[in-house]
Structure 1
Amino acid sequence: MNVRNVFSLAIVALVACCSQGFAQTYSLGYDQTRYDVSPGDSVDVTLILTEEIADGETARLAGGGTDGLFAFGLGVDYSSFTGGASGSTFGSITFNSDFLQSDPDFVQVFDSGSVVSFETSETSGQGVSGMMISPNEYQLELATLSFDAGAINSLTTLQLRTGEAPVTNPALFFADGETPAVGFGSTQIFVNAVPEPGSAAILAIVAGVGVLRRRRK
């Protein structure tokens, strides 16, 4: 067999391998690209799984059942922040109730102080389905994490990633056990400075004057 034939066979094998990929693509992100909060606030960030399909393909999140999502294990890295003396910190997590049946296989939450990892599964034998956004896109809310606002002017990045110990499950687990490639998104929490009492009073007076002028007109 000459070099040309070997190269040709390698190309065929590569194409065949790629053609066996998933018909669906997945991304994990948040319900907002940025959260603006005040000092002392608690901000809720919702994790959303998005499934996109090509025309004529079937979405796994379309009807749940044996094709829905059965489990997920993720991590949120909140170690990166700029400005202020400290960044926002993890408070608590609430899972989508469809994943929390009367006898769940497992529910784990592990906070290292810089990364919160968590996993859960749905155990009734029916995978969890999502909501159709368009004929080619479905979304499923996985969980809501609560973060406590950091120092004034701090900007904390929440980067999604695979989990760390003791979380061991893959990012996504469907009925057939296959774990597709998934893209991880990020968001930011910005803590606004609260106006001083004097400044707040001045702003209120200016606003009142503006209202009176409009009424006179």
Structure 2
Amino acid sequence: MSGPVMNNIIKFAKMLLLTGLLTSMAACNPAPDNGASGAAEPPLAGAKIGGTFTLTNQDGVKTSEEQFKGQYRIIYFGYSYCPDVCPIDLANIMLGLKQAEKDNPALIEKIQPIFISVDPERDTPAVLKQYVSAFHPRLIGLTGSADEIAAVAKKYLIIYDIRKDEGSTEYLVDHSRQAYLFGPEGEPLALLPYDGTPQDVADEIARWVK
């Protein structure tokens, strides 16, 4: 991706973050009481979603899911060249995480946000490093070979497909839009409302993270 294009995407992401922050600050809805709701079973409890993986992070370091054991994980699949959907979703999710961390600073140590690319050909570690930094200081970007990404996507029930016009070198990647919340042992807990407000995301995080 050319420098100007990437810079425009990052500027767009920062604009979304600022807009979302203002919305979050204006929200009047209190976080849900974890008394009764906290006793409920998570909606994805028992689902066969997730599993082992070893990919490469934005610093070029091999990263395994074992490194996140003991932490809750927010996992979203997408790609940095995505023109609109991914930056909007990530902005909402990461703003929601920031709001949840503001409400409960202990969550900073408990939750690890992760972005996994479905476009390994273009999403090199260097590209991901620039991309994820626009959304959250602790967001980890993961990439790998085409086979590695395909294997991980299958485990996490993510479908993706490259869409290229005939005769063009440019392409888009159609992909599933799920924002997963996993527990400390890698167990699936819930889907985060990426298409809601940051407060909606924060409330859902507060509902399941203990």
TM range (shorter): under 0.3
- Computing the radius of gyration from Cα coordinates, the structure with the larger value is 1
Larger strand share, 1 or 2: 1
Larger helix share, 1 or 2: 2
TM-score by length of 1: 0.27
TM-score by length of 2: 0.28
